[in-house]
Structure 1
Amino acid sequence: MGIWEQNLAALAARNPLVTEALQKYLAEPTSGPEGGVKRIFPCETRTGLPNLKLVQGDKHVLLHSNYDPYFEAGRWLESLTEQEPGGTLIVFGVGMFYHLEILLNQFPDKLIIGYEPDLEIFLHLLRNRDISRYILQHRLTLLVEHESVKWDRLLLTYLVDHPDAGIGWQAFPVYERVYSTKWRQLGQSMVALLIAFQSNLVTTRYFSNLWLINFFHNLLPAVSSPGAHTLFNRFKGIPAVIVSAGPSLNKNVHLLRELENRALILSAGSAINILEKHGVTPHCIVGIDGAVDDNSKIYERSLSAEDVFLLYSTTFYHGIVNNFRGPKVVMQLDHYDYLAWLNGELHRNIGIVRSGPSVSNVAMDLAYKLGCDPIVLLGQDLAYTNYQHYGDGAIFQQTFTEEDKQKKGAVVRKDIYGNDVLTTKAFLTMKTKFELDLQELKGRFFIDATEGGLKIEGTNLLTFRETIDNYFKMEFPLRRMLCEICRESSDDEPVGLSRVKAVLYQSKKAIRKIRQLCRRGLTTAERMRRHCQDQTLGIERFNEMADLLERWEHDILRHPLYTQLVLRSVNSEMYATTMTTDREVQNEFDLFKRGLAAARGYNQQFGIIYAKCALIEQLIDETLGKMEP
């Protein structure tokens, strides 16, 4: 058996989807990824090792060092941000595998995902280097760029199988340059996927219900509040300061008192308590967090502030939205926001704000859409500077203890001064989201005036004093501007409650239809389970029942309301259930055992949807009850 055959056999055993993608590509080659190479030529290094020359326009680039690819790979590994022994690393660019070989040998406990954006390069690798023994290692997963390979689905499968594995991603340098567009897209998708997955399915399940409850309780305020689009581009050239609650806020929070009419102050999350302690009244509070207890404490004093605007998403804790006395503006987020469904039904466009793992990520995109320039980050440590959680005045625990270090999986990174500082994977995900967004938000000057914590690439480091002296030289009647803009929006045609009622009644009817389909599916799944358990099912009857289950599933998954509303709240659970079931069914050859696995999976799937629809129907009824005179 030759090199090609050995590699292909190993790949077929470990990842049949990638093998299938290769076969489809060989049968019908497609062009490489956008912005990628135009031609690829095999060549050898000076030591006789396989290499590739990439031609991009009039540029010729060697994929690996012409001298010693292994030495180059070792240097690359040394240049990476400090690697933990375990966890998972996604490497953008498989190339001729030299760097992955070094990585696998040097970190025997690390799980590696190699992602190759160009199938031509992958084919050259499989034909010229025997990597079959590595492919067969269960700690290595190889993915390729092809329409038949749903890499996000495969990655989610991986996350389900390894829920505790911390995820990081790095590009092999040549790929970062040659396939820069694809690298950015991968980063954005990675962050979105990790945010959606939420570290574990229990947490996701809890928050999906919480987000639904908050959405329906916030529904009436949302349709009566001006949309965020009314503020878009109305603050062109006006500085904005996004205030977060990081410990370095102690250094400069007092300077905010100078900025009442010189910069738009946006308070993100729990920063409001610190601002209150220092006598600073922000122009706006940005809120997206749905937790009940935390928000009840954080915003207790802010509820009565009549000159502060609340910019909120419908995931925000409804107790704050419904009791806030000041003006309110609703935001539609681009990810997991049920408001997208409602606005679609009402034909209402209020603009879209980028979501993120923290309210500060959302606030930065909001400031950009308002037209603000420069945009300043304050208190954005993304780390436990001086072993503190928050700046002075925050209502929660202050000192970062040894127990916290273990619980949160803290890691050491360098701060902006080159000193060691503790941070967490959650903070690093926020940092990555900032950096990916900053690559897209062009034409503005972004300043990180935190004066501590991690460096956010794409921002300019200045002290807050320097920032104020150099960029905050003009005055603007900011509170009056906000009030006038919202007053103008109140002249627009309001959303009639009769339209909202009609949407809710129609949706309730559709939800009942989905529940009816779920009941049919549950009944059929139970019959299949019973027959398979008793081994009283022939192949013909088995296929009939399997077809029925597929029909109920198809009717549910294609139902418009399921795709527009229900899917958002069951996505992670459904992914986990269907992928687990698929693996069990594919690996089982006994008819009755396959039937039991399929019945169990369908029972879980229909049960998840049924329970969520029951909750939605209850929330619709409660909302309709509030609308009765």
Structure 2
Amino acid sequence: MLTDNIVFLKNNYPKLYEELENESTRNQQSNISIENTRNNQKTIIVNKEEKIFYLHSKYDPLREAESIINKLEEKEKIDENSHVIFYGVGLGYHVDVFTKRHPNTSFSLYEPSIEVFQILLDNINLKKLAGGNLEIMQCEFEPEYGNAFLNTLLNKINKKIIISTLPIYENVFEEQYNVFFSKFKELIIGKRINLHTNYAHQKDWITNSMRNMEKVLSTPSIISEKMGTFKNKTAILVAAGPSLNEEIENLRYIKDNGLAYIFSVGSAVNTLIYNNIYPHATSAIDPSVKNQVVFETIKEKKITEIPIIFGSSAGYKTLEDYPGNKYHMITSQDAIALYYMRNDDGSTVNIVSDAPTVAAATLQLLYILGFEKIILVGQNLGYCDKKRYSEGITYHKAELTDEELKKGIWVQDVYGNEIMTTNGFNSMRNQIERYIKQLPNINVINTTKGGARIEGAEFIELRDIIESDLRRKMVDEEGLDELEKNKTRYDKEYMASQSKNMDKAYGSALKINKEYRAILNKIEKVINNRNYTQAKNLYVKLDKELKKIENNDFYKTFILPMNRVQYKILADSIESLNAEKDPQEQGKRIIKSFGNFIDICINDIEMIKPIYDDMKESINEYVEKNSEEE
């Protein structure tokens, strides 16, 4: 290894250097070597399955590198808002060309071959190759390193991600290449879905939590009252996939004979009602307004026998005029409950982690309640005969369009065949699989005929489970109705104290906004006058005001969660703003970025003030009522 590379790695990538040192102590017979090209440059040779592969042209590697970057530029727009992953570094010819053409674009390096990486370090000066824009560099010492590299990168980088592959790597390192790109696609899709979800619901989560405070304080917490009480019992989690139609009679038999507790999620409740089967409970966590449509049938028919378990950040209109019993669960998106509430004994309130699908959140809830076995029904997470939903659902299109079929992706089904699904369904499946892995000793069985395979959930047909396991009555006569006898008690003194503190924080937030806006106005004036020294002093003051925002309880509880996407964009842009060399351009960008952010926040404070006042009244009523009862 070059001496300069030892210094560079020790200073910048000490863990990578340590692993390289450990690797060098092993005796290895390599099939990879370096040789001179015809124009006296260097290339790397790989002997694989009695074939010879050149990682770079054996004639003119530099010219080949120019061609690789030319093709990349034709395909992608590359600027300072891009981040390029170079999969396959080789001797870095293409990386060198790239950094010279795009000195302001950040990039990362991933080398799947240890031997190739060692040759690189023996011959090429990394510091010169990296320039000043190298973010992450990794060599694949173990198969899971690719996953860790991508997770770290996607959490750190808030830019457009572009991958450039050294062309020959797809053939020479085929298996590693396929695993890496499959994982990259999965993570990118997941990140896009999370970003879309956050952007679409960031305000709803908070305003719903505020509006739902009165319902939360007047209903039992199913977790507090029932945690761990369903040991040795079975829960059936019913979703609205098309295969649900095939299980109706099995579910009817289970319900009529009390063989398991039936929980419906999403639209499945309407298929069950359509077939005169009332689940023991239905769940709701969706924060959107459209979620109320799911429960219109229950409201119109005034069905009182189906209790609803609602997430505290669920769409507030879902709960309006709901005729059945209501039980709440605090969700991780509910920053309000976490600020105002604690249990009567002083302990922290129990929460359910919010999830992109109500099925995943309810799966977690059933685990917390202590069910020994959780059986999935109608959890297709894919298409069945061009259908996406079961019968009895009139507000969604059941049949797929040709356009949707074109965009479909293929995954393995429960029988080992391929089934078409969407990125959205696939993300839901991945989330359920993560919960199954994370929750110790959870026992999940998937009975969904023709559905996507769910790792960690064995496929067994429901009729077989009835014959082998569900042979005795286990449901109590009252079902969950006994919960109505208990109203969960929260610490009223703590709630009253937190409410007073929040009022103070609200007043402070208004003062911060005024000072923040005044500083921005001063920055605009001094930039127009080209007084850049004074501008720098004002940037320091602006940064202090931003820190005040970050430490203010009203902002932390309401406004920042309502604008989590914009806040992250602002935070991620600060490094780029500081690096801007043109002081005039820097000033304009700071005014725009910080100005847009504070304008959004000020508007939201005005918007939620009436909701805040109503919520505060609900808290005061709860405190007074519970004080009188003592």
Task: Evaluate the alpha carbon distance shift between residue 475 and residue 114 of structure 1 in structure 2; reply closer, same or farther with a 3 A threshold.
Answer: farther
Q: Deviations over 1:26-66 (max 9, x none)?
A: 4x99988xxx998763554442459xxxxxxxxxxxxx999
Question: Distance between the aligned counterparts of 1:122 and 1:558, measured in 2?
Answer: 48
The 5 Å alignment of 1:108-127 reads 127=121
Secondary structure of 2:319's counterpart equals helix
The 5 Å alignment of 1:259-338 reads 259-260=254-255, 261-301=258-298, 304-335=302-333, 337-338=335-336
Contact 2:280 2:479 in 1 (8 A): no
Tell me whether 1:383 sits opposite 2:359 in the alignment.
no
Tell me whether 1:508 sits opposite 2:503 in the alignment.
yes
Task: Evaluate the alpha carbon distance shift between residue 188 and residue 388 of structure 1 in structure 2; reply closer, same or farther with a 3 A threshold.
Answer: closer
Task: Evaluate the alpha carbon distance shift between residue 94 and residue 351 of structure 1 in structure 2; reply closer, same or farther with a 3 A threshold.
Answer: farther
Task: Evaluate the alpha carbon distance shift between residue 470 and residue 380 of structure 1 in structure 2; reply closer, same or farther with a 3 A threshold.
Answer: same
TM-aligned CA deviation for residue 391 of structure 1: 0.6
Tell me whether 1:352 sits opposite 2:351 in the alignment.
yes
Question: Distance between the aligned counterparts of 1:628 and 1:350, measured in 2?
Answer: 19
Contact 2:282 2:306 in 1 (8 A): yes
Question: Distance between the aligned counterparts of 1:152 and 1:343, measured in 2?
Answer: 34
TM-aligned CA deviation for residue 382 of structure 1: 0.5
Q: Which of these residues, 562, 582, 597, is aligned with residue 569 of structure 1?
A: 562
Question: Distance between the aligned counterparts of 1:376 and 1:469, measured in 2?
Answer: 14
The 5 Å alignment of 1:138-537 reads 142=136, 155=154, 158=157, 160-161=159-160, 196-198=194-196, 204-227=198-221, 228-260=223-255, 261-301=258-298, 304-335=302-333, 337-344=335-342, 347=346, 349-395=348-394, 396-405=396-405, 409-487=407-485, 489-490=486-487, 494-495=489-490, 500=495, 503-532=498-527, 534=528, 536-537=529-530
TM-score by length of 2: 0.72
Task: Evaluate the alpha carbon distance shift between residue 246 and residue 159 of structure 1 in structure 2; reply closer, same or farther with a 3 A threshold.
Answer: farther
Contact 1:338 1:568 in 2 (8 A): no
> 1:47 matched to which residue of 2?
31
> 2:167 matched to which residue of 1?
none
Aligned-partner residue type, residue 503 of structure 1: Q
TM-aligned CA deviation for residue 432 of structure 1: 1.0
Question: Distance between the aligned counterparts of 2:603 and 2:593, measured in 1?
Answer: 15
Question: Distance between the aligned counterparts of 1:283 and 1:189, measured in 2?
Answer: 36
Contact 2:513 2:598 in 1 (8 A): yes
Contact 1:191 1:432 in 2 (8 A): no
Question: Distance between the aligned counterparts of 2:570 and 2:286, measured in 1?
Answer: 27
Question: Distance between the aligned counterparts of 2:119 and 2:353, measured in 1?
Answer: 39
Question: Distance between the aligned counterparts of 2:50 and 2:319, measured in 1?
Answer: 62
TM-aligned CA deviation for residue 466 of structure 1: 0.7
Task: Evaluate the alpha carbon distance shift between residue 22 and residue 217 of structure 1 in structure 2; reply closer, same or farther with a 3 A threshold.
Answer: farther
Secondary structure of 1:592's counterpart equals helix
Contact 2:212 2:316 in 1 (8 A): yes
Question: Distance between the aligned counterparts of 1:70 and 1:244, measured in 2?
Answer: 53
TM-aligned CA deviation for residue 551 of structure 1: 1.1
Secondary structure of 2:599's counterpart equals helix
Say which is worse superposed, 368-377 or 565-574, in terms of deviation: 565-574
Task: Evaluate the alpha carbon distance shift between residue 626 and residue 150 of structure 1 in structure 2; reply closer, same or farther with a 3 A threshold.
Answer: farther
Secondary structure of 2:351's counterpart equals coil
> 2:583 matched to which residue of 1?
591
TM-aligned CA deviation for residue 191 of structure 1: 9.6
- Identical columns (%): 18
Task: Evaluate the alpha carbon distance shift between residue 345 and residue 275 of structure 1 in structure 2; reply closer, same or farther with a 3 A threshold.
Answer: closer
Secondary structure of 2:352's counterpart equals coil
TM-aligned CA deviation for residue 511 of structure 1: 2.3
> 1:621 matched to which residue of 2?
613
Aligned-partner residue type, residue 553 of structure 1: L
Task: Evaluate the alpha carbon distance shift between residue 419 and residue 22 of structure 1 in structure 2; reply closer, same or farther with a 3 A threshold.
Answer: same
Say which is worse superposed, 359-368 or 497-506, in terms of deviation: 497-506
TM-score by length of 1: 0.73
Q: Deviations over 1:499-524 (max 9, x none)?
A: 64553443233123123212211221
Give the alignment's Cα RMSD to 1 decimal: 4.8
TM-aligned CA deviation for residue 454 of structure 1: 0.8
TM-aligned CA deviation for residue 126 of structure 1: 5.7
Contact 1:384 1:421 in 2 (8 A): yes
Q: Which of these residues, 16, 23, 30, is aligned with residue 11 of structure 2?
A: 23
Question: Distance between the aligned counterparts of 1:447 and 1:599, measured in 2?
Answer: 55
Aligned-partner residue type, residue 329 of structure 1: Y
Task: Evaluate the alpha carbon distance shift between residue 391 and residue 337 of structure 1 in structure 2; reply closer, same or farther with a 3 A threshold.
Answer: farther
Say which is worse superposed, 154-163 or 452-461, in terms of deviation: 154-163
Contact 2:312 2:331 in 1 (8 A): no
Gaps in structure 1 of 5+ consecutive residues: 9-18, 51-63, 74-85, 102-111, 164-170, 178-183
Contact 1:197 1:572 in 2 (8 A): yes
Task: Evaluate the alpha carbon distance shift between residue 392 and residue 543 of structure 1 in structure 2; reply closer, same or farther with a 3 A threshold.
Answer: same
Alignment length (residue pairs): 542
Gaps in structure 2 of 5+ consecutive residues: 35-45, 56-74, 77-82, 95-105, 140-144, 163-172, 622-630
Contact 2:206 2:334 in 1 (8 A): no
Question: Distance between the aligned counterparts of 1:383 and 1:423, measured in 2?
Answer: 4
Question: Distance between the aligned counterparts of 2:497 and 2:174, measured in 1?
Answer: 54
TM-aligned CA deviation for residue 142 of structure 1: 4.2
Task: Evaluate the alpha carbon distance shift between residue 294 and residue 356 of structure 1 in structure 2; reply closer, same or farther with a 3 A threshold.
Answer: closer
Say which is worse superposed, 336-345 or 414-423, in terms of deviation: 336-345
TM-aligned CA deviation for residue 264 of structure 1: 0.9
